[in-house]
Amino acid sequence: MVSFFGCANYQIGHFRRSVTGIMGLSRSPLSIIGQMGATAKRFSYCLPPISSPIKTTFLRFGNDVKGRNLSKVSFLNSIDYNYRVNLLDISISGQRLNLPTGTFPTGCMLDAGCGGSVIETRAYNEILRVLLQHFQRFNLTRVSGGLGFLQGELCYRLRRGFRNYPGMTFHFQGANYEIGPENLFRVTSDRFCLALTGSNDRTILGAFQQQNVRFIYDNGYQKLFFSKEDCSQDGA
């Protein structure tokens, strides 16, 4: 089998100024996964926190993939070549939102190339409602403007010593994915912002919500495996 790979020194479009290239790891026959065959049917990564001095991570294939205490969910296979799992509901601080069946018709896509997560509009509006009620109890000052790649609309002026950040859970079919406050809110010296945005037609679990979690994509078994891990310690 002959494989074809390329590189570029000039790009146009959305990523033209921010990246030097994109490695395609989807299930498309044209991706690296599709062209490497059995060698790449299983791959893994673990993203260090944005605050960590460690800014690199290993992309592992085949027998080099490792993990422990893993949860697993099945991929949705009938939509496209992206990695999607069935998302049933969302909880905030342990309380289910009880979103209607069909709120996420195309499931939840896994995309480490997306900075913050994207949530289907109906669910996103309910998340905002619950979070507004939560933070209202602390008499915080709401401010406008997101933080770089996190252009969420829910931001507050940071009060010294404030620690009452809620967590979130994605209830996938087969396993729960816990998103701690450190992966839900981006905190700076003067503000904190919800690292989520809304969308009319899609839900994506982005890189910010994937920090310090080991992800294993197994195309042979059509499964996603994940578990919490200190990704800054992902040595060779």
CATH number of the domain residue 57 falls in: 2.40.70.10
pTM confidence score: 0.90
Which pLDDT belongs to residue 37? 72
Amino acid at 24: G
- Range(s) of the domain holding residue 11: 1-40
98 with 125, same domain: the answer is: yes
9 with 71, same domain: the answer is: no
DSSP state of 99: P
Tens of pLDDT, residues 193-219: 999 999 998 999 999 999 999 999 999
Highest mean pLDDT among 14-23, 61-70, 159-168: 159-168
Tens of pLDDT, residues 1-39: 555 566 666 666 655 565 666 777 888 887 888 887 766
pLDDT exceeds 80 at position 167: yes
**235 contact partners, CB below 8 Å, separation of at least 6:** none
24 with 78, same domain: the answer is: no
Number of structural domains (the chain) is 2
The Cα–Cα gap between 3 and 36 comes to: 7
Confidence category of residue 231, pLDDT binned at 50, 70, 90: very high
Tens of pLDDT, residues 107-161: 999 999 888 899 999 999 999 999 999 999 999 999 987 666 556 689 999 999 9
The Cα–Cα gap between 149 and 117 comes to: 11
The average confidence (pLDDT) of the chain is: 88
Amino acid at 196: L
32 with 123, same domain: the answer is: no
111 with 201, same domain: the answer is: yes
Q: What are phi and psi of 62, to 5 degrees?
A: 55, -125
54 with 36, same domain: the answer is: no
